[in-house]
Amino acid sequence: MKGRVEIQHVSPAVDCGRYAAKAVVGDDVVVGADAFREGHEKIAVAVRYRGPDDSRWRDAPMRLDANDRWYGHFPVDRMGAWRYQVMGWTDYFVTWLDGLQKKHAAGQTDLDVDVEEGALLLERRRSDVSKAVAAVLDDTIDALRSDRTLTERVAAAGDPDLLAVLKRNPERLDATLSKPELSLWVDRPAARFSAWYEMFPRSEGAVPSSSETVGPEGQPSKSGTFAEAAKRLPAIAEMGFDVVYLPPIHPIGRTNRKGSSGPHDLDPGPDDPGVPWAIGNEEGGHDAVHPDLGTIGDFDKFVAEAATHGLEIALDYAIQCSPDHPWVTEHPQWFKHRPDGTIQYAENPPKKYQDIYPVNFDTDDREALWAELKRILDHWVSHGVKIFRVDNPHTKALPFWEWVIAEIRAEHPEVLFLAEAFTRPKMMQTLAKLGFSQSYTYFAWRNTKHELTTYVTELAHTDMADYYRPNFWPNTPDILTEFLQTGGRPAFKLRLVLAALLSPAYGIYSGYELSEAEPLEPGSEEYFASEKYGYRPRDWDHPDSLAPYIGRINGIRRAHPVFAELRNVWFHHIGNDALLCFSKVDANRNGAVLTIVNLDPHNPQDGVTWLDLWQLGLEHAGPFEAHDLMTDTTYIWNGPDNYVHLDPAVEVAHVLRLRSL
C-alpha cells in the first residue's frame, strides 16, 4: 500500500532521473523535495543515500523550509556512483503531541484520554527499538500514566531528550519513497576546480622552417621534444596551474598535409610538420607517440616530471584519422565512402579539413570500433593520463560517449573528460549529462556586463549547475577573439581575471601570457603563424610577460576556497555598465571576496557600488575592511555604496577580501 505522504519535485534530478547529477568528494549534497499529506497530521522527511559498494542505506533528516518544500543534505566521501531517494512518513507522536499541547494551552483540562493515547503510541514504538531507547520510552510512559499534574505530564511528553530519541529512531509505518532512485556521480575535486595550461610540446626547443615569420632564416625545421618541453614545466607550475593539456602527440599524416602558412596552405614544404589532429601514419596511430617528440618512455618521464611539480597531464582524445592512419587500410569499414569509392574527408562548411577522415559511427562493425576506441583510452590511462580533453564530441555518436565514459569510470573513477564542444546549447548540455566531467563554454564571446551576468547566472543558478561544470577559456589555438585582438595587454588581464574568478575551472592557451593577438587576417579568429600548422618557439622571458600576474591570480584562487565553487557567485549592482561587480562567499556567509572588473580595456572607468550586504554576511556590520588582494591595499568601506575607480593602464580589477572590523 502506498504511503500517505506525497513526494514531488525532488532535486537534483537531471531529466527526471535519466542522468546522474554531479558532485565532488567532500561535498554536502543538498537535496530538496515537496512533501505533504492530507489532513493536519505532521510528517517527517529524510533523504536516503548510499555510496559505491555500500550494502545499506543511510538517512539524513530533511527540514521544512516553506510552502511544503523540504531540504536536507548528505556528505559524499569517495568517488563513484551514489544513489539517493527522499522518504516521507506520518509522525504520529508529534501529531499527537501538537494536538495535546494546543488543547492544554487553550485551558482544556479533561485530557486523560488524550494523554493515554500518547502512552499507547510510545508502547507501540518500544517493540522494535534497543533496550536503551525502550528505557527512555518507559520512563515517559510511566510519567504519562502517573498522578502528576496535567502540566507536568504534558511537559514530559514534550521533553527535548525524548523527542531527540524518537527522531533518531523514527517509526515509519506509512513511509513513501520517491521514485525512481536517483543517481549521483562523485568525482575527485579536480573535476570542478582546476587551472589548465595548453602547450604544444613540439614548439619547445623547436627550430621553425624558414617559410615562417619566426625563427632563423635558412635553417632546417626541427621539432621540440618531451625532454625540451619538460623544461617548461617549472614555469607553468610557478604560474599556479594544475593541468598541462597537450594537443595530440601522435604521428601525423603526410597525405594532404597542411602547410605552415595556415588552413588554406595546401602546398606544404618538406619541413612543415602538419596539424597534430591529422592523426596517424605508417609509424602508428592513436596509441603511438610522434617519433620527433621522443618515445613512449620519454612521454612517461614527462608525465612523472610534471607530477613532481604538482601538475597533471591532460591528453587530447580526437576520434579522427589522417588518410595514412593504419585504420584506413586495416578497417576501411570504419569510414564513410563516397559514390566514387573515395573516403569522405572532414568538413565544417565553409571550413575543409582535407588532411582528416572522420570515423563513421554508423558502421556495421560498431562493436569492434567502440572496443578499439576504448582500448586507446585504456592505453593512455596505463601511462598515467587521468584527464582527457575530447575534441569535437558533438560530432560523434552520443550513445558511444555514454557507454565509454561509464566503462572507463567503472575501472578508473578518477579519470576526467573535458568536452570541447562549441555548438548548440542543448547538445553541449546533453554531453554533460552523458558523463563529461567539464565542458567548454561560450565565455570567450561574452564581453559585456549583461552578457556575462546572464550567462554566468544561467550556469550557476539554474538546473544546469546540477550536471554542467564550465571550464572558461579566453583563448584556444582556434579562438583569438576580436576583444583580445584589439584590447591590448589590459584585455588579456581582464579576461584572465573573469575566467579565473568566475569559474572554478578555467584555462589558457600558451602565448596568452605574451598577449599574442595578431590574427591571420581581418575578421578571422585564427592566429597568424598558428601553432596548429607549424612550430612556434617563444621568448618566455619577455619583460612584458603576464606570467607574474597569472601567478597572482592563481594564488588568490588557491588561497580562498570560495573560488572552488560555482553556485556561490552573486552579482551586485554598480552604477556603470563598463564595471562588473560580483562576489563569492562560503555557505556560512564567511570569507567573502568581492571582485570588480573594468570591462573596458581602453579607458578608465568609475562607479558607485550598491552591495547586497546580506549576501556578503555584512548586513549587521558597521564599517568593514576591503583588502585588495591584487595590490595589498586596504580600504575602509561603509554600507552598500562605495566609490570605485579602475584605470586599465594601471590595474583592471579589484579583488577585495571583505571582513567586519
Which are the catalytic amino acids? 391, 420
Distance, CA of 538 to CA of 510 (rounded, Å): 9
Distance, CA of 494 to CA of 597 (rounded, Å): 7
Distance, CA of 44 to CA of 304 (rounded, Å): 53
Q: Strand ranges (DSSP E) for 283-355? A: 312-317, 320-321, 346-348, 351-353
Distance, CA of 256 to CA of 356 (rounded, Å): 8
Please name every residue paired with 657 in a beta bridge, in sequence order, or none if there are none: 593, 627
Helices (H) and strands (E) in the chain, counts: 15, 30
3-state secondary structure of 251: coil
Terminal C-alpha separation, the chain: 59
326: its cell numbers: 593504419
Distance, CA of 166 to CA of 579 (rounded, Å): 54
Give CA 287 to chain center in angstroms. 28
Structure-derived torsion over alpha carbons of residues 633, 637, 642, 646, reported in degrees to the nearest 10: 0
Helix orientation angle between 482-502 and 449-461, rounded to the nearest 10 degrees: 40
10 Å CB burial of residue 397 (0-12, 13-18, 19+) is middle
Distance, CA of 36 to CA of 480 (rounded, Å): 54
Distance, CA of 474 to CA of 418 (rounded, Å): 16
List strands edge to edge, sheet with 624-628.
569-571, 579-584, 593-598, 653-660, 624-628, 633-637
The amino acid sitting at 125 is R
E strand or H helix at 244: strand 243-246
146: its cell numbers: 502517573
Distance, CA of 656 to CA of 256 (rounded, Å): 53
3-state secondary structure of 483: helix
Decide the pairing of beta strands 387-391 and 416-420.
parallel
Whats the size of the chain, residue-wise?
661
Distance, CA of 348 to CA of 31 (rounded, Å): 42
The amino acid sitting at 100 is L
Give 405-411's long-range contacts (Cβ < 8 A, gap of 24+).
405/434, 405/435, 405/436, 406/435, 407/374, 408/374, 408/377, 408/378, 408/381, 409/80, 409/185, 409/435, 411/378
Please report where in the chains the cell 560517449 appears, as a residue.
401
Structure-derived torsion over alpha carbons of residues 116, 119, 123, 124, reported in degrees to the nearest 10: 70
Distance, CA of 467 to CA of 20 (rounded, Å): 7
Distance, CA of 576 to CA of 604 (rounded, Å): 12
